[in-house]
Amino acid sequence: MKIAIIFGGSSYEHEISIVSAITMKKVLKKSELSFIFVDKDRDLYLIDKEAMKSKHFSSGEYKKGKKLTLQQGGFAIGGLFGSKEVSVDVVLNLIHGRDGEDGKIASLMEFFGIDYISPRIEASVISYNKLYTKLFAQSIGVKTVPYQHLSKSDERKIDFDYPVIVKPVRLGSSIGVSIVKEPTGLDYALDVAFEFDTDVLIEPFIEGVREYNQAGSKSSDWELSIVEEPHKEEFLDFEKKYMDFSRDSQVLKADIDAILEKKIQESFKKIYEPLFEGSIIRCDFFVVDGEVMLNEINPIPGSMANYLFDDFEAMVGRVAANLPKERKIVIDYQYIHSIQSAKGKA
Amino acid sequence: MKIAIIFGGSSYEHEISIVSAITMKKVLKKSELSFIFVDKDRDLYLIDKEAMKSKHFSSGEYKKGKKLTLQQGGFAIGGLFGSKEVSVDVVLNLIHGRDGEDGKIASLMEFFGIDYISPRIEASVISYNKLYTKLFAQSIGVKTVPYQHLSKSDERKIDFDYPVIVKPVRLGSSIGVSIVKEPTGLDYALDVAFEFDTDVLIEPFIEGVREYNQAGSKSSDWELSIVEEPHKEEFLDFEKKYMDFSRDSQVLKADIDAILEKKIQESFKKIYEPLFEGSIIRCDFFVVDGEVMLNEINPIPGSMANYLFDDFEAMVGRVAANLPKERKIVIDYQYIHSIQSAKGKA
């Protein structure tokens, strides 16, 4: 299968997307891969497989490569004398954060009629915005960690006991996130979070909470990964998460009983279907007193959470073969014709 | 000001978008207008102002015109020997329904760095999906008509007394909407709605409810239209709404007291800010026992609800001068550099 991996983007997670894409090169061994880089100015470049090294991007050398344009049906290598299409069966969206997770890449693929693995537009907006994730989860009966929403202009008054965790509403990879142990630390944490976003969520920080990750997708049937209990420090800061995005070897299944595993899987399925059809996502759950609560949805998880799947590459193939299809709309100008004929113009 | 009106789209409302665009030609008299047509295959065409007649599109004659491509910063007229940019200050998104209201046009404009008047991606998804509109309104303390959500596979059991109104979750302009007076009519109405969407909303149909429309935007200050009490038949079917999209003369202010007017305006402002910044929208409210309830948000109202504004064209100019700016993200490869230097490669 010809898979085009799109990565980079105008995102705080631009660099970890590069790391994720390099990891995919190692993981997707049997596929015919091409790499499409969205640079910081959102120019598109076709990158040779051999050039997929971090320095190629940090040095700016990629700019010597082939620039791409989007046209109906695919990407094209532009040029003065016409253009040549890049041959692709499916695009794998690997842009973390803005552009990739906020619905832009999904929109581009839909508009230009390109098959793609990624959350669709609605799923992107619902998962990129942590406040909307809460509203959505509540509406489908999935519990979440309690929260308080603050906008920049709101009074900085907290409903929870300390410690609390402060998160910008729209970013991933712990950017702008702080744990606040004392009231005196709140202002600084909010200032940091508001550096990145107009809105923040405040949640109680649950000391020693058990966390479990479930990744998955749906092809003709469910494609669930093992449940992982991530190795936890207080929480992963950006640099540790960054290293985390290069994981490519399988991890061990969490040591949990069948009942809890089933609860986690059922919560995942409720979230996934139908909103996330066409994507491979990872949901992070907290478990408190046997109750499963959604912490967050990772719509484009680091290195696609490949290390949680038994045969990631085969799964990608099955997902690609079962993508949701856009509803066909027939446009036949029947209203315009009837108006013209009423006016005697037809 | 150079305004490019983008219209058409792969949408059930493709034809009424053409009508809206032709109306804009009459309304925006002082601006330098260009017209960008998204045809049913989502090919982009630059349309001469003189050709802005419905027959130009229904006959397929537009295909003889200039095809456009998207590139960073704007639209370009393609050609074998390079391309020429279409000079535009701001794009006015006038695609009703899919493509225009679901976040695709917003995404294209953001990705290619083109200034535009339209709901942004999040606002598009929240208003295009009537279920999300309900969740959003509840979260900001704006009352809505009570509702029940049904998916295709759900049991067809209704919680409300009849009559009820059945609406596809994602469409505008009353497409697929039915009023059901008796239980015997439910199945057919649901079949019709599910023809258009995977999800429907059921609401009690409130006989003789007072309906008020408030359009508006925000530039350096609020830009609120008059409040209109739309001329109501049982409800507007597609053909009547279609004619409605060509309105270009001002209407009369609804005969309501200052308290109700203020309540409607305050509800509009709560909904609009900050989510809808950069757009001109119309909110339709129901009033029951003096209580204002959101019926729906029209993110791209027919002919931009120009007939509700005193000086629509001047308002468009002020909105264009006060568009929300994208947050600048600096990408300096500091993490990649530090990893390279740790590995001794720098």
Neighbours of A244 (CB within 10 A): 18
Tell me which CATH code domain B126-143+207-320 carries: 3.30.470.20
Options 3.40.50.20, 3.30.70.100, 2.60.40.1930, 3.40.30.10; CATH for A2-118 is 3.40.50.20
Average pLDDT of the residues of chain B: 92
Which phi and psi angles does A231 have, rounded to 5°?
-65, 120
pLDDT of residue A346: 40
pLDDT (mean) for B41-68:
95
Q: Where are the alpha helices (DSSP H) in chain A?
A: 14-27, 54-58, 104-111, 121-128, 130-139, 186-196, 238-244, 258-272, 312-320, 334-342
Q: Are strands A291-298 and A90-93 parallel, antiparallel or unpaired?
A: unpaired
pLDDT digits (tens, 9 = 90+) for A119-174: 999 999 999 999 999 999 999 999 999 999 999 989 999 989 999 999 999 976 67
Query: Which of A125, A155, A153 lies closest to B135, judged by CA?
Result: A125
Q: Looking at CA atoms only, how far is residue B3 from chain A in angstroms?
A: 22
CATH topology of domain B2-117: Rossmann fold (3.40.50)
Provide the residue-wise pLDDT of chain A in tens; the chain has 346 residues: 999 999 999 999 999 999 999 999 999 999 999 999 999 999 999 999 999 999 999 999 999 999 999 999 999 997 545 678 889 999 999 999 999 999 999 999 999 999 999 999 999 999 999 999 999 999 999 999 999 999 998 999 998 999 999 999 997 667 889 999 999 999 999 999 999 898 999 999 988 899 999 999 999 999 999 999 987 655 555 566 666 677 777 788 999 999 999 999 999 999 999 999 999 999 999 999 999 999 999 999 999 999 999 999 999 999 999 999 999 999 999 988 887 777 665 4
How far, in Å, CA of A276 to CA of B16, rounded? Answer: 31
pTM of the predicted structure, to 2 decimals: 0.94
- For an interface test with B, the pick among A39, A68, A114, A121 (most B C-beta atoms closer than 10 Å) comes out as A121
- When pLDDT is cut at 50, 70 and 90, the band that residue B233 belongs to is low
Q: How far is CA A36 from the centre of its chain?
A: 17
Intrachain domains A126-143+207-320 and A148-204 with the same fold: no
How far, in Å, CA of A189 to CA of A175, rounded? Answer: 12
Q: Looking at CA atoms only, how far is residue A148 from chain B in angstroms?
A: 11
- For an interface test with A, the pick among B109, B112, B125 (most A C-beta atoms closer than 10 Å) comes out as B125
pLDDT digits (tens, 9 = 90+) for B69-117: 999 999 999 754 567 888 999 999 999 999 999 999 999 999 999 999 9
Cβ <8 Å between A331 and B58? no
Q: What percent of chain B has pLDDT over 90?
A: 80
Tell me which CATH code domain B148-204 carries: 3.30.1490.20
Output the six-digit token pair for B74: 């704007």
Residues of chain B contacting residue A11, judged by C-beta atoms under 8 Å apart:
329
Domain ranges of chain B: 2-117, 126-143+207-320, 148-204
Asked whether residue B24 carries a pLDDT value surpassing 90, the answer given is yes
pLDDT of residue A52: 97
Cβ <8 Å between B340 and A55? yes
- When pLDDT is cut at 50, 70 and 90, the band that residue B346 belongs to is very low
ipTM rounded to 2 decimals: 0.94
